[in-house]
């Protein structure tokens, strides 16, 4: 098979690999080049199981499929490449007609399907939070202001020992007001002002701000793809999301510090369908930390409002980040295990005709 110039082979929207009788990779399509983050030339002749790590016992079933020249379907397995966190995928094996022993492997990442549902649930949850904030903010803030004022008046005539009690009333009232204001941010975030943005400029602004403040004890590593094209994004809102992810990573590491890696790459195989059309999200931004990971019981709901892995966390930062990325028609996901947590943002590529935004220096 000479599929490298075959329009059908090139147009396949999912990663596809051609394997010889010895399970060596002989060809991959462009979508697979993005998935594996390598080229056909570089991977030619490499044993497939040296490049793909599949969390399932495939050997016997795959050998039978090749021997019988029959297809094999494997659903919901974790597939890793060694260069990134594993993705849950469906695998399809099929014999290649006219080529004895050759098998075609197609990889269908299920992550996007889950994230489509996640995107809708994030918007629904955000709307619920907005409605709750609008309904309760006025009713709660006014009494709290009265309580705070009364406590401050009382403090003028109290002894030093009793002042601790009024100080507690004032501080806790202000804390509740602050929490309400954070909830109200869901309704205050304006629609993104989309333009062509160099994501590395945004990452650099976020990194410099972080290491001068909350990430002073962290080591922040830049692992960028210098050829990455411009993204369609609101630079200020994207900066807010990245800063939030950096802050979470820093807090997860604790006082001892840790390592955060900012990783960018291009993966053209990532697409999402809405309605009758498809939308490509090839620009990937990953914030990777070596902290303890997310608690397993909340990992699947971490982008929902009021879900937090920290004892005193509000659970609003990641929900707001997810809403912003959803408003960009992008996706945000997380893959977490002890020692490695990866938050990934997938964005659209800017049209080549748009000029690049000039970022303000901080």
- Kindly report the backbone phi and psi dihedral angles of residue 45, in degrees, each rounded to the nearest multiple of 5, phi listed first: 90, -5
SS3 assignment, position 61: helix
Contact of 16 with 29, CB cutoff 8 Å: yes
What pLDDT was estimated at residue 357? 53
SS3 assignment, position 80: strand
Report angle CA 286, 328, 273 to the nearest 5 degrees: 90
DSSP conformation letters of 226-283: TT---EEE-HHHHHHHHHHHHHHHHHHH-TT--EEEEEEEE-TT-EEEETTEEEE--E
What pLDDT was estimated at residue 296? 75
What pLDDT was estimated at residue 317? 76
What pLDDT was estimated at residue 343? 92
Contact of 28 with 17, CB cutoff 8 Å: yes
CA distance to 56, 138, 167, 172, per residue, from 151 (Å):
63, 20, 8, 11
Strand pairing class (283-289; 340-347): antiparallel
Contact of 329 with 270, CB cutoff 8 Å: no
What pLDDT was estimated at residue 307? 58
Mean pLDDT for each consecutive 10-residue tract of the chain (362 residues)?
Answer: 67 86 90 81 88 82 86 84 74 86 86 50 55 62 79 81 82 77 61 92 94 89 94 93 92 83 85 57 92 78 64 65 87 87 92 61 40
- Kindly report the backbone phi and psi dihedral angles of residue 50, in degrees, each rounded to the nearest multiple of 5, phi listed first: -80, -25
- Kindly report the backbone phi and psi dihedral angles of residue 197, in degrees, each rounded to the nearest multiple of 5, phi listed first: -130, 135
DSSP conformation letters of 181-220: HHHHHHHHPPPP--EEE-HHHHHHHHHHHHHTTTTTTSEE
What pLDDT was estimated at residue 271? 64
What pLDDT was estimated at residue 241? 93
| Widest Cα–Cα separation across the chain | 95
What pLDDT was estimated at residue 183? 60
What pLDDT was estimated at residue 99? 81
Tell me how far apart the alpha carbons of residues 1 and 190 are, in angstroms, rounded to a whole number: 52
- Please, which residues have CB within 8 angstroms of residue 257's CB and are 6 or more apart in sequence? 217, 218, 219
């Amino acid at each position: 098979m000479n599929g490298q110039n075959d329009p059908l082979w090139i147009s396949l929207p999912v990663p596809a690999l051609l394997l010889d009788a010895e399970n060596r990779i002989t060809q991959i399509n462009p979508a697979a080049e993005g998935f594996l983050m390598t080229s056909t030339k570089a991977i030619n002749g490499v044993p497939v199981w040296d490049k793909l790590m599949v969390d399932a016992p495939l050997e016997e079933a795959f050998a039978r499929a090749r021997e019988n020249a029959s297809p094999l379907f494997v659903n919901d397995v974790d597939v890793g490449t060694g260069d990134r966190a594993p993705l849950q995928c469906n695998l399809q094996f099929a014999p290649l007609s006219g080529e004895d022993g050759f098998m075609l492997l197609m990889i269908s990442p299920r992550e996007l399907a889950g994230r489509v549902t996640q995107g809708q649930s994030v918007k629904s949850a955000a709307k619920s939070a907005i409605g709750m904030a609008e309904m309760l903010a006025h009713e709660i803030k006014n009494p709290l202001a009265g309580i705070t004022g009364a406590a401050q008046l009382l403090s003028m005539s109290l002894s030093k020992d009793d002042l601790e009690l009024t100080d507690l009333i004032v501080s806790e009232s202000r804390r509740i007001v602050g929490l309400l204001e954070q909830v109200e941010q869901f309704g205050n975030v304006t629609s993104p002002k989309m333009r062509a943005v160099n994501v590395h400029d945004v990452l650099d602004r976020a990194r410099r701000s972080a290491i001068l403040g909350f990430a002073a004890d962290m080591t922040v590593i830049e692992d960028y793809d210098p050829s990455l094209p411009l993204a369609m994004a609101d630079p200020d809102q994207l900066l807010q999301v990245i800063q939030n992810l950096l802050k979470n990573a820093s807090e997860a590491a604790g006082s001892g510090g840790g390592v955060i890696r900012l990783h960018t790459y291009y993966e053209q195989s990532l697409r999402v369908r809405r309605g009758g059309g498809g939308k490509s999200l090839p620009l990937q931004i990953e914030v990777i930390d070596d902290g303890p990971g997310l608690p397993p019981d909340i990992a699947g709901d971490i982008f929902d409002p009021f879900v937090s892995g920290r004892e005193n966390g509000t659970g609003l930062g990641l929900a707001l980040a997810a809403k912003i990325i959803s408003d960009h028609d992008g996706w945000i996901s997380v893959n977490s295990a002890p020692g490695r947590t990866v938050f990934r943002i997938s964005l659209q590529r800017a049209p080549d005709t748009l000029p690049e935004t000039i970022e303000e220096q901080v």
